[in-house]
Structure 1
Amino acid sequence: MATVWQQQVFALDARYNAHRAPNHPNFRTLYIRRRSQLLREYTKGDEPAIRKQYIKLRGQLLQKRYGVSCDQTSIRSRSVSARSSSRISESPESFRCQVEQNSQNEQEGVVPTKQAEASRAIVGGTSIAENYAFVGVHHIFDQHTSAVTMLKFANNDRSRLCCASLDGTVSICNVANPPRVEVVFKGHKKGVTCCDWSVSNDLMVSCSLDATLCLWDTATNKCLRVVRDPAGAEMMSCLFQPANNNMVIAGNSQGMVEVVNVSTGIYPRGGSSKLGGKVLSLACDSSGQMLWAGNNKGMIVSFLFDLETGRLSKCRRISVAENCPITCISWRAWISREARDPTLLVNCAANVVCLFRVTDKEGSLLLRRKFAVRHKTNLIRSTFCPIMSFRQGACVVTGSEDSCVYFLDIEKEGKACVNKLQGHACPVLGVSFNYDESLLATSDAQGLVIVWKREKRSVGLTAH
């Protein structure tokens, strides 16, 4: 109960932080860090009545001090009405029919069943909510002056975190004690929209609204190559080809999905395809042979990727929600030991996060479930929790425009939210776990990055 109260107080202070010393951003960050530290050190007994009264009085004092109301009650009411007008093309009835049809072919459920007592005993029998009890703030980074559009922990790394920002820079932070900013890459002339690590973390790629793609050496902190978009269009998304890190896949504002060889700077023949709109999101399977791209028109298209030539072949197309941007796509093969079907997690600016099953080798998608989150205008992202779990239930994490971070159990009937983090004062854009799930990083539209730590537990709760 104390941890929930601490989050509520921290969220209240964070909402007013933009009004605090407007000409001194460093002071604002120092202030909110100190508030977080004091809240973590609060060890008095559980006094819910006093705590409730404290939050009320604190809110009144802040409102009087700054002359504005940052109460989120109105936000919540608008969120409810927005969710009710969601334009997802699949009706609830058709969605239920899809799930029932799946049930006839195989047993539904992406995790061990209730009878899997031995599996749960291995991990202490804890619930999903207990396992994902991220409650404390590990550190707050504020090196960026504009929205941090994307966060990504390095592969199989607990501490190195990449941040891409609309201020035109890319930074690498080390969250190990003491947390610090290792380097800030300054090469783009406009906002950075996306970034990705190579498999071995020795390279990083970033793309920008200045129509360039930059390749960075993370050992020497130097820019190895700058590749310009052939049409001079804004570059909206990029990722390394997982099976061949010499190749990078990029999407631009003119609807093109393009392959570039970053070793030579050459776009191979046949390595581009027209999707239309703005290509805001990309995802590959682990083999690198299947690619999905989403645009701002609500469309997802699958492609086959020829690893030898870099040629793209368009396969399947699905309309998720007409004219509602697809801002993030994540691929996962296993969500648990008993869920070996490839799955896509999709953020759509129709106030929903969708979970799709990949049904064939051409990347066809079947809607499994959708979740309501506040999302209409920003580039909101989500992620699968990286570690396969023995317990019943499986989690994904998503940002939201109501300034909260949501943990969603994709197998839980009814209310799927098992945890909610409150600490940002504006839309939460990026989310990223480190590989062992000990830390979660989230970023917002004002450029703040919060690194959350898991509640300490006495036994190991996850396993590969």
Structure 2
Amino acid sequence: SGKESEPPAYVAFEGHQESVQSAEFTADGKMLISASHDNTVKLWDIETNKALKTFRGHDSWVQAAMILNDGKWILSASHDAQLKLWNIANYAEIRTLKGRVLAQHVDAILDVSFSSDGKQLVTASRDKTAISWDVSTGKPNKEFTEGHAFLASSAVFLPDGKRLATAAVDNSVRIWDIQTGTEHKRFEHTGRSAAIDVSFDSKLLVTGSDEKTVRIWDITTGELLKELAGHHSEVSAVAISPDKKYCASGDARGHCMLWDRETGKLLHKLTGHTRRITAIAFLPDGKTVLSASGDNTVGSWDVASGKENQDQILKHPDAILSMAVFDQGKQAATSCADGLVRIWDLGTSKVTRTIEPVNGLINSVSVSQDNKRLLTANVQQRVIQLWALETGAELRIPGENGQLKPFLDFRAKGGMLWTAIFSPYHNSILTVGGRDARLWNDVTARQVMAFHPHGVVASAAFSPDGKWLVTGSWDNSAKIWNTQTGQAEKKLEQKHNGYVNTVRYSPDGKRILTSSDDGTSKIWDATSGDIQMSLEQPNTHVKSAIFSPDGSQIVTASNDKTLVMWDAKAGKKLKTFTGHEWPIREVAYSHNGKRLISGSEDNTAIIWEIDTGKKTVLAGHTAPVASVVFSPDDSRAFTASDDGTAKLWDTDSGKEILTLSSHAQGVTSVDFSPNGRFVATGSQDGQAILWLTVDWKNKAPQVVQLNR
């Protein structure tokens, strides 16, 4: 006809001061509700375009608002962690449903999980910790963490052969179980100088402090027994005599002191050095103390008189960086700032051999128990070298290309290096640096054990009896913790070659399931920590794995967009579920074992009928679905998404029922308590929120029916 069509008519509802996040018509179409970042909800008259009422009361952005119960109520959700119910008839706020915010983590929460009795909740975080919470009070019970916060710089093996101690600039000393690799005890406020020694009976720990004191601790009880004051600068080196009668200490100004260990009395000031004391040691007979200094000398002191043995001074051309006494006190090895390592005959005070490592400062020297090998740690080149003491020749090992190489090269392995020592009781070498210590086979240079904190804690789960907690980390390991003591009891490591994404106990508590980016899911004996089975899925990342309610099956979810069901005993594939268009983040079983729910990066969740394969797609999120869970009666399901919301769904119809929008960032995890009274959400904002579902049931029964 040639006549231009008229532009579509529209009506503007103006009144909000900030962006509008959601809008919804009432059932009769006469009114509209809107939620805004101006912290308000408005009710509008469609005919007049005017706001009938503004609902004020939220303390932060209102993300969503919806009509409930045949148009009688409005439910609003805000970033202030509150749900509010409003009566439309009289425009009054009926009730505030405030989620209890659990805020102690300093980085994103990646997983939340209730204990089987519903009394505890655990949160796993990117801040490398897991925290258990009392659900009734919202207060933290235990923080599950171990290892140094930063800069571990020294270590010593306990003479019992079962433990070792590490000291760090983080003002702590940690005692580790060598066999399990777990932290046995920690001593706080030990000073930042990281100077330590242990008595021959493994009962006493001596530490030197930047607070100018020497502290003596009971290793068994952790009690501080004595504090020895007298230094006027940082205590940089400490030692305890073989008979435990004396302690020797040196400081940053070059002063050395000899103490009565039991009374704490200062016996002698060992005067002679003019610069920092870098090492101090008793000879095995307990009658002589050697002190190494930045003034280019090693001093020798008579314990009884405190006088220096002038004819036994070991003179160097430059500052001494480290010292090791060996061969029953007959020899010593020193590293010097001139780059050389010298072997000394302590009887003649003469050099018997000189060794020249690679360029750089040798920060530590150590000699093997058989007195045949020397170990040097070059902190500048980050290289560990082994030497034959008899010939002075370097003992190299074959590299990947067949060429010989230094014993350990941290430039290739990554990580810091500060100290290396031989183990006196194992065929191994301990290296210290960064946040950890690592034990290596002294022949093959393969890592035997690591003593370090978790990396990012991605997942956590309670055992069925609540006595144990398992955590999985992006450091490729899992740890089993005692929930009463908060101590790690066992490590599950060196089996995965990628991030551990999920950890779960079997229903009977006898097995632990881990899934990893290395394309495997592994089943472990929960008591021994031994691996029982590995479920292989090459060329993909396994993001989630879960036992069936009866423990007979396992379902894994992976980046290849599939769910795979396995026989938990035989390890055979039983069934594959396909339907997602993007990688799957998480999978969960229904409590009756008949359904699965999966969340995907395609922004959807799918409920699967296991027997028939029927799919119900839950569509509504605007970003990847990170977590999924069924309600205890299986009639509802919650999904958590990177879009900052958690949504409640009817599992039969697939209809969305409720949206929680209180987190400031993506919601990473959601879980129901066993009785359905609580829902917990965890977020990238570092907070977990506990929601009381009974409030939703009482106030909006047709919206949330969690308990039948």
TM-score range, shorter chain: 0.5 to 0.7
| Separation (CA, whole Å) in 2 of partners of 1:325 and 1:11 | 33
Partner of 1:185: 144
CA displacement at 1:156 relative to structure 2: 2.7
Structure-to-structure mapping, 1:163-202, within 5 angstroms:
163-177=123-137, 179-187=138-146, 188-202=453-467
Contact 2:470 / 2:479 at 8 angstroms: preserved in 1? yes
Partner of 1:160: 120
* Between structures 1 and 2, the one with greater helix share: 1
Cα-Cα RMSD: 3.6
CA distances 1:229-276 after superposition (whole Å, capped 9, x unpaired): 324422112211223x232111111101111223222213x5442354
Tell me the SS of whatever aligns to 1:407.
strand
| Separation (CA, whole Å) in 2 of partners of 1:281 and 1:375 | 21
The alpha-carbon distance between structure 1 residues 11 and 233, as it changes in their structure 2 partners (threshold 3 A), is farther
The alpha-carbon distance between structure 1 residues 266 and 375, as it changes in their structure 2 partners (threshold 3 A), is farther
TM-score normalised to structure 2 length = 0.43
CA distances 1:183-230 after superposition (whole Å, capped 9, x unpaired): 111134311111111111111111100111100111222111012132
| Corresponding letter in the other structure for 1:409 | D
CA displacement at 1:142 relative to structure 2: 1.4
| Separation (CA, whole Å) in 2 of partners of 1:10 and 1:221 | 44
| Separation (CA, whole Å) in 1 of partners of 2:491 and 2:485 | 16
Structure-to-structure mapping, 1:129-140, within 5 angstroms:
136-140=97-101
Contact 1:281 / 1:327 at 8 angstroms: preserved in 2? yes
Percent identity (aligned): 16
| Separation (CA, whole Å) in 1 of partners of 2:36 and 2:527 | 45
Partner of 2:484: 219
Partner of 1:328: 586
The alpha-carbon distance between structure 1 residues 13 and 154, as it changes in their structure 2 partners (threshold 3 A), is farther
Unmatched 5+ stretches in structure 2: 1-21, 24-32, 41-50, 65-73, 76-81, 85-96, 147-452
Partner of 1:317: 576
| Separation (CA, whole Å) in 2 of partners of 1:201 and 1:219 | 9
| Separation (CA, whole Å) in 2 of partners of 1:221 and 1:408 | 36
Partner of 1:209: 474
**1:381 is aligned to 2:611:** no
Partner of 2:511: 247
The alpha-carbon distance between structure 1 residues 419 and 196, as it changes in their structure 2 partners (threshold 3 A), is same
Partner of 1:121: none
CA displacement at 1:315 relative to structure 2: 2.4
Instruction: State which structure, 1 or 2, has the greater radius of gyration over its C-alpha atoms.
Output: 2
Structure-to-structure mapping, 1:89-100, within 5 angstroms:
none
**1:51 is aligned to 2:314:** no
Match of 2:657 among 409, 415, 418: 418
Contact 2:676 / 2:706 at 8 angstroms: preserved in 1? no
Tell me the SS of whatever aligns to 1:214.
strand
Contact 2:111 / 2:669 at 8 angstroms: preserved in 1? yes
| Corresponding letter in the other structure for 1:326 | I
CA distances 1:93-118 after superposition (whole Å, capped 9, x unpaired): xxxxxxxxxxxxxxxxxxxxxxxxxx
CA distances 1:321-352 after superposition (whole Å, capped 9, x unpaired): 35x22111111143xxxxxx700011011011
Match of 2:565 among 302, 310, 325: 302
| Corresponding letter in the other structure for 1:181 | P
| Separation (CA, whole Å) in 2 of partners of 1:163 and 1:253 | 21
Match of 1:345 among 572, 575, 597: 597
Contact 1:241 / 1:248 at 8 angstroms: preserved in 2? yes
**1:143 is aligned to 2:407:** no
**1:399 is aligned to 2:635:** no
Tell me the SS of whatever aligns to 2:479.
strand
Partner of 1:98: none
Taking CA–CA contacts closer than 8 Å with sequence separation of 6 or more, which of the two structures ends up with the larger relative contact order? Answer: 1
| Separation (CA, whole Å) in 1 of partners of 2:34 and 2:109 | 24
User: Would you say how many aligned residue pairs link Structure 1 and Structure 2?
Assistant: 331
* Between structures 1 and 2, the one with greater strand share: 2
Match of 1:356 among 578, 599, 608: 608
| Separation (CA, whole Å) in 1 of partners of 2:627 and 2:458 | 12
| Separation (CA, whole Å) in 2 of partners of 1:258 and 1:11 | 47
Partner of 2:379: none
Tell me the SS of whatever aligns to 2:663.
coil
| Corresponding letter in the other structure for 2:632 | P
Tell me the SS of whatever aligns to 1:196.
strand
| Corresponding letter in the other structure for 2:617 | K
CA displacement at 1:374 relative to structure 2: 2.5
TM-score normalised to structure 1 length = 0.64
Contact 1:256 / 1:276 at 8 angstroms: preserved in 2? no
The alpha-carbon distance between structure 1 residues 321 and 229, as it changes in their structure 2 partners (threshold 3 A), is farther
The alpha-carbon distance between structure 1 residues 349 and 375, as it changes in their structure 2 partners (threshold 3 A), is farther
